[in-house]
Amino acid sequence: MDNVITNETALAYLYDCDGTLADSMPIHIRAWVAELHAHHCPLTADEISSIITELAGMPSVRVIEEINQRYSLSLPASEVSEKKEQRFYDHFLHEVQAIAPVVAHLKKHAGTTPVAVISGGNRHVVEKTLEAIGVKHLFEVIICAEDVKYGKPAPEGFLLAAKKLGVSPKDCLVFEDAELGVQAAIAAGMRFVKV
């Protein structure tokens, strides 16, 4: 991963947050398990972990809607989503660590090359996560779930970031850990590095 990250160049670098810049996916999964079980979701912790991993990058409201559809449940999507994000923020955020090679790449290029974060997370949680790993101040643009109508795998977030940075999509390089994010980068006509 180090050689790919340091050798591939672009006119702008676009980073996912959770699982790419921040080693936060296992912590998010713990928050999901706790919140879904608090709402009497019948899925096991392993089943929840599996679906959250599969849907990584998707806005949390859409994750609940997908769980409801797949398992014939009727969990209140907005309520569960908000409470899960708050649970992560209140009880788990302090555990987040940086993913060193990706953060090193960011620090090498920030200030000389336009950089942005594109996340399916809620803004207050994404910004706090970026603060926790010491990189929020480096970003010119931060695109979160509230900024787009269609989250990953739709390309809307990546295209909006490129537009705000004033860079053509074909000149952007995306760093992503999740398959839905890779699909969004491809749909946006951008090159990508799978972290």
> What does the buried/exposed string (b/e) look like for 101-119 if buried means 16 or more CB atoms within 10 Å of the residue's CB?
bbbebbeebbeebbbbbbb
Q: How far apart are CA 87 and CA 117, in angstroms?
A: 22
The SS3 assignment for 149 reads coil
Residues 6 or more apart in contact with residue 187 via CB below 8 angstroms? 153, 154, 155
Rg, C-alpha atoms of the chain: 16
Q: Tokens representing 93?
A: 């955020």
Answer positive or negative: Cα dihedral of 120, 124, 129, 131: positive
Decide if 96 contacts 22 (C-beta within 8 A). Answer: yes
The active-site residue out of 16, 18, 23, 177 is 16
| Side chain identity at residue 2, one-letter code | D
Q: How far apart are CA 109 and CA 124, in angstroms?
A: 25
Q: Decide the pairing of beta strands 12-15 and 172-176.
A: parallel
Please indicate whether residue 16 is annotated as part of the active site.
yes
Active site residues: 16
